[in-house]
Amino acid sequence: MGGIMFDWFANTLRTYPEIAIFLSLALGYYFGSFTYKGLGLGAVTATLIAAVIIGQLGITISPPLKATVFLMFLFAVGYGVGPQFVRGIAKDGVPQALFAAIVCVFCLGAPFIAAKVAGYDVGSAAGLYAGSQTISASMGLATDAINRLGLAPEETKRLLDAMPVAYAVTYIFGTVGSAIVLALLGPALLGIDLEAECKRYEEEHGGKKEIGGAGTAWHNYELRAFRVKEDGRVVGLTARQAEALIPGQRVFVERVRRSGKILDATEDTVIQAGDIVAVAGRREVLVSLIGAAAEEVDDRELLAVPVEGVDVLVTSKHADGKTLADLAQLPSARGVFLRRIVRGATATEIPILPNTKIHRGDILTLVGRTQDTSAAAKALGVADRPSDIADVAFIGAAIAIGALVGAFVYKVGDIPLTLSTSGGALISGLVFGWLRSVHPTFGRIPSSTVWFMNSVGLNIFIAVVGISSGPGFIAGLQQLGFSLFLWGIFATTVPLILAMYVGKYVFRFHPAILLGCCSGARTTTASLGMINDRAKSQIPGLGYTVTYAVGNTLLTVWGMVLVLLMA
């Protein structure tokens, strides 16, 4: 009975491979969530292991699926770090490119030494290199190089047949091992707290989140209710006159409860004795200046005012060049508080001072009642309100444009130079993520959607890799022996460890981006996903882009170089 059920289960997965993918995700995310003393497999590694096991059933998956979700993942990575990338590229671009070239030399040297010591032939050496460095594109150039060696047809065929077998044996650890070495061992070997370093990097580069706001117990701006006493000094004054009694502070009478009825206050509303007024302002002003001299009332209905924080792109000619003091006098500014000013391509945060001038292109974060922020946004420019809806047309077009650019191949002699569709999608994410940050009128992707594209996209890719390469992994072990797997571990691990120490002590990269630089130079995207997961941040991806562009080209060319060295 058990055999019949297993056969039915295996045949079902072979017929419907999509079930195998979702099963790999379920097992991967479940078992990847367990940790022991802070260490765990993580979703990426656990998904790969589950997929390799499931893949022993001989399941065939359509190749385009892997490429599709991989492009989605890379675009999400680029989109998430685009603004910070522009700030960091001018400072670290050239050093990162040089670092990637040095790491690529390590990645060529380690497999070459392993192949020579172990006595492997040219085909097995090329497969060992391609699998341990997870650069399948190198096998194309290696194949051309072997064909040009002038060997007998039978010998050439034997070498070419050995290449994919060695690749399958070493590729599994090349993928999961690089993630383990960089994400799990890397911070310990370098003596860094990755999560803390990422937070420090964000603060140093203007990414620090302001205290207060949604999800926190403390708020910078508040709405509180106070009862007007018979002898109160605001009795008989208009709302604007009452607000002017606290010089140098922006406070506003938003609503009034009078004779049991609630009225929306305007600047001309006259305050009467016995009124309960809802006053908006900075917390310290309401607590220290007003609260000490007035009776506070808990009037829930009066305080039930719809409020929001909204980013506004300044496009108005009338606002351009005006100081905050000037803009504060406009009727549309009443009831609105300014929380943040961001300017320029590098998203520089500008101090909020009375004489600070506002320019077209600035992004202002306004806080207040919905009707007040809407009026202010209309006067200043274009509002960018939060939404759960992603701009899918933008996502599709941006990935397509990036992939088309990346697919272009420029040949220098017999050497093809290309970003690849993967690199193109990543660069597209960087560019459009940056454009979104400086011109937030298009391309909204909610953070939850970015997470889904990032995490689930990567893990579907990993699941397809594991399911597809699982049978070849076992067959390769049987054919070439377990020693090849061990040499693959050597060829994968040594360059990464050397890269980490060179990046820290020679190039002195910031610890937050160092491991991302190592991932990019080795073009090991799986490790980047795991590093980001451990860091609880996308900041490590800032070191991935430049190094990936260099590494992707050199590691591909090394396939031909290795054959020439071995021959």
pLDDT tens-place string over residues 267-314: 899 999 999 999 988 877 777 656 556 788 888 999 988 888 898 988
For the chain, the structural domain boundaries read 1-67+89-200+455-566, 230-293
Higher pLDDT, 136 or 99: 99
| CATH tag for 230-293 (out of 3.40.50.12140, 3.40.50.1370, 3.30.930.10, 3.30.70.1450) | 3.30.70.1450
Tell me how far apart the alpha carbons of residues 359 and 377 are, in angstroms, rounded to a whole number: 14
User: Which among 560, 546, 445 is positioned nearest to 139, based on CA atoms?
Assistant: 560
Mean pLDDT of the region 223-227: 89
Give the residue carrying structure tokens 């893990």: 459
Place of tokens 């959607």: 449
pLDDT confidence bin for 436, thresholds 50/70/90: confident
Task: Give the rounded percent of residues in the chain with a pLDDT score beyond 70.
Answer: 88
pLDDT of residue 457: 86
Instruction: Report which of residues 142 and 48 the model is more confident about.
Output: 142
Mean pLDDT (the chain) is 83
The pLDDT confidence band at residue 207, using thresholds 50, 70 and 90, is very low
- Highest average pLDDT, of 67-76, 78-87, 425-434, 505-514, comes from 505-514
Check whether 434 has a pLDDT greater than 50: yes
| Average pLDDT value for residue range 30-43 | 70
Residue 256: is its pLDDT beyond 50? yes
Max avg pLDDT among 340-354, 356-370, 460-474: 356-370
Global pTM value? 0.63
pLDDT at 88: 56
pLDDT in tens, 106-152: 999 999 999 999 989 898 899 899 889 988 768 777 887 888 788 88
| Cα–chain center distance at 294 | 48
Cα Rg of the chain (Å, integer): 30
| 8 Å CB contact between 234 and 274 | no
